Structure 1
Amino acid sequence: MTHLNFSPAGQTAFEARFAAQRIAFGPVVFQCVRYAWKRGMLQALAEAGKEGISVDALAGTGRWSAYALKVALESCLSAGVVQRDDGRYVLDKTGYCLLSDRLTQINLDFVHDVCYRGLADLDASLDAEAPLGLRALGDWPTLYQGMAELPEPAKTSWFEFDHLYSDTSFPSVMPDVLASAPKRVMDIGANTGKFARLALQASPDIELHLVDLPQQLAVAEATLIEAGLRERATPHARDLLDPTVTLPDGMDLVWMSQFLSCFSEPVIASILQRAVAALAPQGQVLILDTLWDSQRYDIATFCLINTSPYFTAMASGNSKVYESGDYIRLAEAAGLRLLTRRDGIGYGHSLLRFAKA
């Protein structure tokens, strides 16, 4: 679906060199723009309107020093976040996006609070295929073991990032979940239990089985208790990185949302094989995930491709945001066949439906 257009046709050597400098100074610009946003400078420019406002006038409010204003706003100027006309700063369209677009704000917080310090170890993480940057947040083998203990603000920023994508998709895919009238449904990677809650609310006939690490199951169970749905759910504490761990069988539907991207291809292959073994004779597997080659717009592809280094340095060391062909190939090798595919769900999800081959 994606038609990549990241390299403009006819780009001159000078333009290419300028683009290269934007990459070289990208981390610097990121921090300056974020500072101007978080400290209210961009909001002050928005309130000043088209007439703009000078550094002296901004400094006169006592909220910022003239020095801090010059460093931050000059960097914003170089990034096209603001304009300057006769010494007065005016917020540009990108600046308004930073102030109003929730997707942009969540991405900024996620990169800053969860990824930034750890990405300094990306080279070592890629070489070792281990999340060596995770030590910036805590001492766990992968981020998933430490999810419930993440320090703030990383914990809040991680869940807002994760839920921004899933929360916009779950309601729209519920008809797909119920299409085969499943009775026994297994949610592998139950996370906070939001999907489980919606599924149980959508159908009184579903018997839900939750599979995740013990600490995540506790969070999911709390969600279901609050909704009065706990009695219809059965938790199964499993670490699926252990290839000897089996799954409960006889399932009409196996559901995985933003789950397989947490693992390497060999582990995905193993999980899919065990999912096949867990299916009832006419059972199906539904995979909801963000696939970078299945996006309508380049902006979504850009965001997803650049989420992969988070998986490398912070999460697992050997997973990523995959292409659709990767999942289909691994599913077919596990004994599944693709029935249907639906793209363009929520903020960039695709839904793949499989049955036994």
Structure 2
Amino acid sequence: MLAVLAQSNVAGVQSFHSDRADVVHEHLSKRLSRHRFDCGRAEPIDARIYSMELGAIQFVDLQYGTEVDVEAQLEDDHFLVHLALDGETVMWADGYRYQLRPDELMVSSPGTPLKVHMTGNCRHLAVRMPASICTDYLGQQLHIPVQRRLEFYPGREGTRELPLVWRGMLTHICGQLQLCPITMGNKRLQRQYGMLLAEVLLGNYCNSYSEQIALHGNDISPRHVRRAREIIHDSVEETISIAALAAQVGVSVRSLQSGFRHFLGVTPLEYVRRHRLEKLHSALMESDGAASVTELMLECGIVNFGRYAQYYRQQYGCLPSETLRKRG
């Protein structure tokens, strides 16, 4: 992918070959993330690395040419998206082991320790995305308040199509750079591509905002999870039993719990809570001051006022009464 651009002498695409581990380590530390790197027991390194930038996003096509072990912990300001192109890679994150085969994808989040084992024939396309691109998309495009850390959950892509779509988009970007390098140098266009990549990841890879993103119509979860969400939305003023909810959608409680965790990143009860907080926040923001916080809470199906006031502060940074007072 990037090798073709390098061979065509496309401006901004860098080609790097080295058989020195220390030089390779320094090169990748600058482009991806600080890390520890070990290839002492393997054959001599024969690294072939191609890289380019699209605005603030860094693309790196890398192959070590030998067996290597890498340990990293990402800085707070970026995510790494790993797409396997050739070979099989083993990755460890959050205490779990993942095997990445060609056209499989994994996202690493800031602060999450990451271990990677690659054989000599492994080749990856890594994308270093500033966290601000994703959080700006949440806030500016989806109007979701970013009150807590955005985190992608390893190995939790919501659809098998995601790696193919991701690879297709990167292939498209590379093709456009080859055909129209001057046009692709436009900063506004680069920001739009960044937003598009953020949308693809946020909408299709389970993360700490997936349940709120689903409220905005981007729901890739299975039918029983979608139906459960519809029931939750239609039952705002009622107490919801998870057992009764599972029975209504025709699955076991365990299956319902598993579906919510995998596709939305939260349990059904957490989803109920956050949905009612969203409703309460909207009601407070639209209030003309005639109704009290307690009355608005009751309209949103909230009866535990003190506990939900604390939940609200955790999500929005202030108490419900403060939001209502500011509106007044």
TM-score, length-scaled by structure 2:
0.26
Which one has the bigger helix percentage? Answer: 1
- Asked which structure has the greater RCO (Cα within 8 Å, sep 6+), the reply is 1
Which one has the bigger strand percentage? Answer: 2
